[in-house]
A = this chain, B = another copy of it.
Amino acid sequence: MTRIYIKDLANHIGQEVTIKGWVDIRRDQGKLIFFDFRDVTGKVQGVILPNAKSAHEVGSKLRPEWVVEVKGKVNQRPEKNAQKEKQNGTIELEILEIVILSEAVETPFELGIDVNVDTHLDLLPFTLRSEKSKAIFKVQATIARAFREYFGGEGFTEFQAPKLIGDDAEGGANSFDVTYFKHIAHLAQSPQLYKQIMVGVFERVFAIGNVYRAEKHSTTRHLNEYTSMDMEMGFIDSFEEIMNIENGYLVYLSEILNKECSADFALLKASIPVVPAKIPRMSLRDAQVLITKETGKDCTKEPDLEPEHERWLCTYAQEKLGSDFIFITNFPTAKRPFYTFRNKQDPTYTDGFDLLFRGVEITTGAQRIHNYNDLVASMKEKKLDPEKFSYYLQAFKYGMPPHGGFGLGLERLTAKLLGIDNVKEATLFPRDINRIDNLLSK
C-alpha cells in the first residue's frame, strides 16, 4: 500500500492508510496502547484497541525509535479529546496492523529533552532526530538554498573551491597540515584566492563549502571546520555594490524563511528578523565617535571594534535605526588582509565592511585590489612574499576588473537567526580541539 506522509493524514479521514516511521512515544492505558509515530513530516497519535489482536501482539513489543510500517484507519477524534493547536490533534490512527522494519535498543533518555552539549554531541545520530535539531538544520539548509537561488538569479556561477591548498600561499598558526605524499599541504581557511581567480573567468561567482581554522580553543564560538558561503563579483564601481547585493540576499532570505520556516522559528522561540531595504551603514570612525560620545569611554584610537562595541552598535541600530543589521565600513588598512582595496581619499583606510547582526559580526566583505602592481606592493607592505602567491597573481598579470565580495559563515548565521548560544548546536557534526564525532583520547 502506498505510504502516506503523516502531515497528509487529515486528508484521509475514514480511510485505511499505511504510514512508515519511528515510534516516538508509547503509553499503555489499561487494555489500550497509545503511540506517537513520527516521520520526517511530523507526528500522529495511534491507538491499538483491545480487539486488534495481531496489532496488539506486535505493538506490545514496540519501544521508542523502533521503525515500523503501520496500517490503520484515520478517525476524527471526539470533540472533547481534540487538541486543535497540535499537528494532527483532531485525528487519531486506529492501528490495524504493524510491521517492524527495525528494532532499537533502549534510548538513553527521551528524545528532545534538554541535555548538556557534550551529551548531545556524544549521541548525535540519536539526538539530531529531535524536533529542535531537525528545525535547526532545516533552517540551515534553507539559508544555503536561498543563497544559491538569490545569487544564481543575479547571474552568479557556482564553483567548487579546492580545500587542499599548497604550501605556498597559505600556512601559519591557524592552518591544519596535511601530509601530501612527500610534501606538506594545508586545509583552506577560505576560498578567497580562488574566487578572485574565478572572477576573471565568470565575472560573478559563488562557492559554498567547508573551511578550516586550527583554533586551539573549544568555546561556544569556535569551530575547526565550518561552512563558508562566499561570493565575488567583477566590474563594480564601489564596495557599496557588495553591501547592496548582500542586503538583497538578506531580504530574500527573510522572505523565504517567512514562507517556509515560520513553524521552525516558532518551535525554537526565535523571530525571523525584518531586513530593511537599506541596512544602515556607518564608518568605523563615525561609529567610534558615537560610542565614545554615548558611553563616555574613548575608543576612537582603536583599530577595530571590541565585542562590547559590536553589541553596543547592534542595540543602537535596533533602537535608533530600527534595524537588526548594521554595516560598519572603512576599517584601517593595517587590520585588513593584503588584497583589500584602499580608500582613495585616505589609503590608511579600506573600502571594506563588516556586517553586524544581533551583537556579532557575521560578514566581512570588501572591494579588492585589482591592479597587479598595487597588489604586489600591498603584499610587501604586509611582509608577504609575492613569489609564494605566483599562481594567484597570474590572474592580475592577465587583467582583472575591479571586483569585491564577502563571506558569510553558515553555522554562525544559523545560530544567530535562531537565538542559539552555542554555535556547535547549529553545526551538524562539529569538530573542535577535543572532538571529532567522539571525544578524542587525551
CB contact list, A166-211 vs B, under 8 A: 166, 168, 176-181, 183, 185, 187, 194, 197-198, 200-204, 208-210
A interface residues, tally (CB under 8 Å) = 94
Query: Is the beta-carbon distance between B164 and A125 smaller than 8 angstroms?
Result: no
Contacts of A113 in B (CB 8 A): none
Q: Is A250 an interface residue when CB atoms closer than 8 A count as contact?
A: no
Query: Is the beta-carbon distance between B160 and A163 smaller than 8 angstroms?
Result: no
Q: Is A224 an interface residue when CB atoms closer than 8 A count as contact?
A: yes
Contacts of A209 in B (CB 8 A): 160, 209-210
Q: Is A225 an interface residue when CB atoms closer than 8 A count as contact?
A: yes
Among listed A43-51, A101-109, A307-315, A339-347, interface-contacting one: A101-109
Q: Is A148 an interface residue when CB atoms closer than 8 A count as contact?
A: yes
Mask: chain A, 384-403; 1 = CB below 8 Å from B; 0 = not: 00000011101111111110
Contacts of A429 in B (CB 8 A): 161-162, 194
Q: Is A277 an interface residue when CB atoms closer than 8 A count as contact?
A: no
Contacts of A67 in B (CB 8 A): 370, 399-401
Query: Is the beta-carbon distance between B201 and A438 smaller than 8 angstroms?
Result: no
Mask: chain A, 146-160; 1 = CB below 8 Å from B; 0 = not: 001000100101111
Query: Is the beta-carbon distance between A65 and B125 smaller than 8 angstroms?
Result: no
Mask: chain A, 80-115; 1 = CB below 8 Å from B; 0 = not: 000000000000000000000111110100000000
Q: What is the copy number of this chain in the assembly?
A: 2
Query: Is the beta-carbon distance between A399 and B66 smaller than 8 angstroms?
Result: yes
Query: Is the beta-carbon distance between B164 and A212 smaller than 8 angstroms?
Result: yes
Q: Is A366 an interface residue when CB atoms closer than 8 A count as contact?
A: no
Contacts of A370 in B (CB 8 A): 67, 101-102
Q: Bound complex: CA of A104 vs CA of B441, how far in Å?
A: 54
Q: Is A144 an interface residue when CB atoms closer than 8 A count as contact?
A: yes
Q: Is A271 an interface residue when CB atoms closer than 8 A count as contact?
A: no
Query: Is the beta-carbon distance between A225 and B162 smaller than 8 angstroms?
Result: yes
Q: Is A410 an interface residue when CB atoms closer than 8 A count as contact?
A: yes
Query: Is the beta-carbon distance between A158 and B145 smaller than 8 angstroms?
Result: yes
Q: Bound complex: CA of A419 vs CA of B133, how far in Å?
A: 44
Query: Is the beta-carbon distance between B163 and A137 smaller than 8 angstroms?
Result: no
If A159-B137, A201-B134 touch, does A166 touch B440 (CB 8 Å cutoff)? yes
Q: Bound complex: CA of A407 vs CA of B406, how far in Å?
A: 31
Mask: chain A, 213-233; 1 = CB below 8 Å from B; 0 = not: 010100000001101000000
Most B-side CB within 10 Å, residue of A67, A137, A437: A437
Q: Bound complex: CA of A185 vs CA of B225, how far in Å?
A: 13
CB contact list, A422-442 vs B, under 8 A: 428-429, 431, 433, 436-438, 440-441
CB distance from A391 to the nearest CB of B (A): 4
Contacts of A104 in B (CB 8 A): 397-399
Query: Is the beta-carbon distance between A102 and B400 smaller than 8 angstroms?
Result: yes
Query: Is the beta-carbon distance between B165 and A436 smaller than 8 angstroms?
Result: yes
9 smallest CB-CB distances across A and B, nearest first, come from: A104-B399, A166-B436, A65-B399, A125-B395, A125-B394, A40-B203, A391-B437, A65-B398, A177-B179
> A40-B203, A141-B157 provided; 9 other pairs, C-beta below 8 A?
A40-B202, A102-B396, A125-B391, A126-B200, A159-B428, A177-B178, A178-B179, A181-B214, A183-B440
5 A–B contact pairs at CB < 8 A? A40-B204, A66-B399, A177-B178, A194-B428, A390-B438
